[in-house]
């Protein structure tokens, strides 16, 4: 079989090996999860069921149902996001892919802070673009000198994920303003992945969005985290009308349209407040940070539901295998970074599991 050139550099995620190993462990303490541990609120489920029964089961417009596009547009404008239009996508993942597809040419470079969500790298590679990583260790902050050093005449965009997966870092207003200043000088595009924007634990860091600061931003979000609708695959992208309309045209050929029932449920979800469900994550954040900080080199996460400690010996891959031998399932940092010195721990699990995980990790330090 002759494979296309574009897929030859795409490899299965390094996490697959860990999942294969974990499958051999009976009932591990699982702190690998990348989704909320609460279920979709019942009223959102009922809304979806209502529309199934009502027969809303056909194709929808390629850009999303008009009422959801309008409501997401108003939702974002209420946060001060600069945008002219919105497209509904197959999750934030689909939104990222379409964003890259319509704005990047082969050979274009996209600057990404390291550590980063692994999907970015391979979506860019599939499209012939090149990710350029900016090291943010040890505190995972954005430094202007490093960002500028990564610029070349092929740089087309900067990609920022805040709160960050895997570190839990939430960038300050000053950091975001610095990124915008650099982008504005070169007329660069900014991709702002805001999927964890409701999972922020410090009041001073809330309501800071790149899309508030720079008109040449594509704001990517969705319903998977705030409303736990991970399997329903509804996301959105907001930006200039020209880019969004081009994305709609291309979505016709890439995905046709987004799940009809999920869009109706998402329309309803925007009026459902899940802050109380999300608030419990701060307690779990505090538990795991306090439980590890005297044993590991670790930065307190300010958002999302991940913590990214450095492990003894700086070999996260070996550490994760040893953790599995101790009945703990976490993810090696090498999945998310050019370095392998850290591990990603998710505290999107019940408090009992988090406490068990802390106990095992302390015994391994």
Residue 309 DSSP code = P
H helices of the chain, in order, are 15-22, 42-53, 66-78, 91-103, 118-126, 144-149, 173-186, 241-254, 260-269, 275-292, 316-325, 351-364
Contacts of 221 (CB under 8 A, 6+ apart): 76, 92, 95, 194, 195, 197, 235, 236, 238
Dist. CA 5–CA 12, nearest whole Å: 16
Both structure tokens of 9 = 């550099």
Residue 347 confidence (pLDDT): 97
Q: Per residue in 54-81, pLDDT tens?
A: 999 999 999 999 999 999 999 999 999 9
Identify whether residues 29 and 60 lie together within a single domain: no
Q: Which domain holds residue 256?
A: 44-269
Residue 213 DSSP code = T
| Higher per-residue confidence, 226 vs 3 | 226
**Final residue of a structural domain among 214, 248, 269:** 269
pLDDT exceeds 80 at position 18: no
Is 145 in contact with 120 (CB distance < 8 Å)? no
pLDDT bucket at 33, cuts 50 / 70 / 90: confident
Dist. CA 251–CA 243, nearest whole Å: 12
Q: Which of 119, 152, 147 is nearest to 134 (CA)?
A: 147
Q: Per residue in 85-137, pLDDT tens?
A: 999 999 999 999 999 999 999 999 999 999 999 999 999 999 999 999 999 99
Residue 9 confidence (pLDDT): 75
pLDDT bucket at 323, cuts 50 / 70 / 90: very high
Both structure tokens of 19 = 């999942």
pLDDT exceeds 90 at position 19: no
Q: Which of 307, 312, 365 is nearest to 336 (CA)?
A: 307
Dist. CA 251–CA 91, nearest whole Å: 13
pLDDT exceeds 80 at position 141: yes
Identify whether residues 258 and 294 lie together within a single domain: no
CATH of the domain at 338: 3.90.1150.10
pTM: 0.95
Residue 24 confidence (pLDDT): 76
pLDDT bucket at 15, cuts 50 / 70 / 90: low
**Average per-residue pLDDT in the chain?**
95
CA 93 to chain centre: 8
Dist. CA 134–CA 178, nearest whole Å: 15
CA 239 to chain centre: 18
Q: How many folded domains does the chain comprise? A: 2
Is 111 in contact with 159 (CB distance < 8 Å)? yes
Residue 10 main-chain phi, psi, to 5 deg: -95, 120
Q: Per residue in 238-259, pLDDT tens?
A: 999 999 999 999 999 999 999 9
Burial 187-209 (b: 16+ CB within 10 A, else e): ebbbbbbbbbbbbbbeeebeebb
Identify whether residues 220 and 292 lie together within a single domain: no
pLDDT bucket at 16, cuts 50 / 70 / 90: low
Identify whether residues 221 and 289 lie together within a single domain: no
Concatenating the DSSP letter of every residue in 321-354 gives HHHHHTTEE-EEGGGSSS--SBEEEE--S-HHHH
**Partners of 167 in the beta sheet?**
none
Residue 14 confidence (pLDDT): 64
Both structure tokens of 293 = 């900080």
**Final residue of a structural domain among 232, 253, 269:** 269
Identify whether residues 236 and 358 lie together within a single domain: no
Dist. CA 98–CA 65, nearest whole Å: 18
Identify whether residues 58 and 33 lie together within a single domain: no
| Higher per-residue confidence, 28 vs 193 | 193
pLDDT bucket at 267, cuts 50 / 70 / 90: very high
Dist. CA 243–CA 99, nearest whole Å: 8
Identify whether residues 293 and 252 lie together within a single domain: no
pLDDT exceeds 90 at position 209: yes
What is the three-class DSSP state of 207?
A: coil
Identify whether residues 95 and 212 lie together within a single domain: yes
CATH of the domain at 99: 3.40.640.10
| Higher per-residue confidence, 323 vs 9 | 323
Identify whether residues 207 and 227 lie together within a single domain: yes
**Final residue of a structural domain among 269, 288, 320:** 269
Dist. CA 41–CA 108, nearest whole Å: 42
Dist. CA 61–CA 257, nearest whole Å: 6
Dist. CA 73–CA 237, nearest whole Å: 10
- Strand pairing report for 217-222 and 235-239: antiparallel
* pLDDT above 90: percentage of residues in the chain: 92
Residue 122 confidence (pLDDT): 93
Burial 74-109 (b: 16+ CB within 10 A, else e): ebbeeeebbbebbbbbbbbbbbbbbbbbbbbeeebb
Identify whether residues 219 and 316 lie together within a single domain: no
Residue 249 confidence (pLDDT): 97
Identify whether residues 346 and 296 lie together within a single domain: yes
Identify whether residues 297 and 347 lie together within a single domain: yes
């Amino acid at each position: 079989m002759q494979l296309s050139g574009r897929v030859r550099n795409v490899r299965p995620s390094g996490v697959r090996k860990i999942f294969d190993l974990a499958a051999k462990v009976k009932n591990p303490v699982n702190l690998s999860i990348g989704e909320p541990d609460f279920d979709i609120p019942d009223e959102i489920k009922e809304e979806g069921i209502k529309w199934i029964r009502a027969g809303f089961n056909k194709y929808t417009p390629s850009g999303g149902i008009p009422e959801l596009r309008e409501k997401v547009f108003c939702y974002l404008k209420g946060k001060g996001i600069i945008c002219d239009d919105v497209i509904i996508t197959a999750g934030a993942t689909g939104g990222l892919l379409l964003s890259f597809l319509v704005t990047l040419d082969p050979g274009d470079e996209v600057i990404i802070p390291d550590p980063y969500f692994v999907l970015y790298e391979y979506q860019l590679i599939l499209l012939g673009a090149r990710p350029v990583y900016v090291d943010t260790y040890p505190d995972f902050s954005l430094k202007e000198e490093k960002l500028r050093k990564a610029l070349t005449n092929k740089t087309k965009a900067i990609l920022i994920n805040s709160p960050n997966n895997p570190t839990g870092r939430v960038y300050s207003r000053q950091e975001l303003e610095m990124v915008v200043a650099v982008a504005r000088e070169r007329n660069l595009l900014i991709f702002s992945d805001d999927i964890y924007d409701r999972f922020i634990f410090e009041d001073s860091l809330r309501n800071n969005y790149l899309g508030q600061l720079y008109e040449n931003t594509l704001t990517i979000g969705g319903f998977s985290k705030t409303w736990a609708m991970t399997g329903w695959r509804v996301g959105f992208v907001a930006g200039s009308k020209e880019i969004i309309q081009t994305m709609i045209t291309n979505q016709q050929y890439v995905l046709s349209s987004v799940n009809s029932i999920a869009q109706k449920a998402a329309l309803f979800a925007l009026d459902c407040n899940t802050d109380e469900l999300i608030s419990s994550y701060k307690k779990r954040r505090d538990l795991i940070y306090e439980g590890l900080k005297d044993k590991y080199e670790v930065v307190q996460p300010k958002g999302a539901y991940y913590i990214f400690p450095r492990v003894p010996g700086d070999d996260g891959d070996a550490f994760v295998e040893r953790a599995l031998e101790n009945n703990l399932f976490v993810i090696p940092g090498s999945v998310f970074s050019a370095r392998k010195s850290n591990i990603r721990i998710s505290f999107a699990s019940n408090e009992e599991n988090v406490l068990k995980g802390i106990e095992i990790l302390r015994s391994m330090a």
